[in-house]
């Protein structure tokens, strides 16, 4: 654009049409993603948009496309208050928080204290940003908040939902499915619902942890499980116990945690009290492993000399640990990006089948084991 054009105001569809040599209606069709426009014409319009510096008006575009160009990123937990919310295992990229979502201070503080959620946000934002879309962060830890999420989606304020459930009994996935709304879940739901999801091969990850501890020569191994009413917690415990049994260890001491550092500390205290001679620990996420390491040091145990410790996730907590934590990597950012891709594909093909994508874990060896 020339200086005179800039001074005249923001470029319009007419400016783009003149630059491309097509009609205003054709430019509108290309800008709004209407199909059946000749690819050569589409390219000419895109180049004209670049040359003129034209920026589509989001409100006007939504009237044409009936799309909000926004995705609800919902952190949901069953129950009547923040005590019901549990995360699995940083700060993610900025997102817009919806004030009407009913999230309480305690619940949101717990969510953002877990590095897992920051990694999810990063993966979602990085995928949406180049596509001209943005996430609206919502919290749904109460029945009222869940109803507000469903209403928000019904009225078209967001085109679909990415749902991270923090409790096995969370009814939100079923509510969204029953309403016929577009959604994708992070992690397999505890109860079958016709909604696509991404997840990790949790049992295979736990197998990697067990084999690593055994390969180091550990023989008195215990585990700090995640909450056993959460599919990921149950799967990691099952995979660990099965692998240990295959190697001749039929009994493994277990202390259940809640995927928090504090619960890891409490669980490690219980394990040490009952099994003071243990020489290896698998914690079902890095936050609990970090807590376990704190307690082991307080009891004068060297890591990994006296007790080897393996975590799960490869989150920021793994690098904050001393020594740095050997852990099973869960590629959360990549999983969140794939979850977003599945949702956008669902929006483009509403009648397509639901699907699942399972990621493979990887052992990351550091100083703790």
Question: Cβ(162)–Cβ(339) under 8 Å?
Answer: yes
How many other C-beta atoms are found inside a 10 Å radius of the C-beta of residue 97?
Answer: 12
Helix H, strand E, coil C: the string for 92-155 is CCCCEECHHHCCCHHHHHHHHHCHHHHHHHHHHHHHHHHHCCEEEEEEECCHHHHHHHHHHHHC
> Has this prediction a pTM greater than 0.85?
no
Q: How many helices (H) and strands (E) does the chain have?
A: 15, 13
Strands 326-329 and 362-364: antiparallel
Dmax (CA) of the chain: 81
pLDDT on residue 80:
35
- CA distance linking residue 337 with residue 197, whole number of Å: 12
Tell me what pLDDT residue 97 has: 38
User: Are 323 and 295 in contact, with CB atoms under 8 Å apart?
Assistant: no
Please tell me the predicted confidence (pLDDT) of residue 109. 67
> What is the SS3 assignment for 23-80?
CHHHHHHHHCCCCCCCHHHHHHHHHHHHHHCCCCCHHHHHHHHCCCCEEEEEEECCCC
* pLDDT under 70: residue ranges of the chain: 1-9, 32-35, 56-68, 78-112
CA 198 to chain centre: 9
């Amino acid at each position: 654009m020339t200086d005179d054009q800039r001074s005249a105001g923001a470029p319009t569809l007419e400016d783009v049409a003149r630059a491309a040599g097509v009609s205003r209606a054709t430019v509108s069709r290309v800008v709004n993603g209407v199909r059946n426009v000749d690819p050569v014409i589409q390219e000419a319009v895109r180049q004209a948009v670049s040359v003129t510096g034209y920026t589509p008006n989001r409100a006007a575009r939504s009237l044409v496309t009936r799309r909000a160009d926004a995705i609800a990123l919902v952190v949901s937990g069953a129950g009547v208050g923040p005590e019901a919310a549990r995360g699995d295992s940083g700060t993610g990229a900025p997102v817009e928080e919806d004030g009407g979502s009913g999230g309480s201070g305690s619940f949101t503080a717990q969510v953002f204290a877990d590095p897992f959620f920051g990694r999810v946000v990063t993966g979602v934002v990085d995928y949406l940003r180049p596509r001209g879309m943005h996430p609206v962060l919502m919290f749904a830890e109460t029945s009222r908040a869940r109803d507000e999420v469903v209403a928000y989606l019904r009225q078209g304020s967001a085109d679909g939902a990415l749902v991270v459930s923090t409790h096995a009994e969370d009814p939100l996935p079923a509510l969204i499915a029953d309403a016929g709304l577009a959604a994708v879940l992070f992690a397999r739901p505890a109860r079958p619902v016709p909604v696509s999801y991404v997840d990790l091969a949790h049992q295979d990850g736990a197998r990697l942890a067990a084999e690593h501890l055994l390969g180091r020569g550990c023989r008195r191994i215990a585990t700090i499980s995640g909450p056993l009413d959460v599919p990921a917690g149950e799967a990691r415990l099952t995979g660990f116990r099965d692998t240990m049994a295959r190697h001749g260890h039929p009994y493994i001491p277990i202390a259940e945690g809640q995927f928090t550092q504090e619960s890891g500390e409490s669980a490690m205290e219980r394990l040490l009290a009952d099994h003071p001679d243990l020489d290896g620990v698998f914690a079902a996420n890095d936050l609990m492993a970090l807590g376990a390491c704190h307690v082991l040091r307080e009891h004068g145990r060297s890591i990994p000399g006296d007790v080897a410790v393996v975590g799960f996730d490869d989150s920021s907590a793994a690098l904050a640990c001393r020594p740095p934590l050997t852990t099973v990597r869960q590629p959360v950012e990549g999983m969140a990006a794939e979850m977003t891709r599945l949702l956008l594909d669902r929006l483009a093909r509403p009648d397509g089948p639901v699907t699942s994508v399972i990621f493979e874990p990887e052992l990351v060896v550091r100083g703790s084991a």
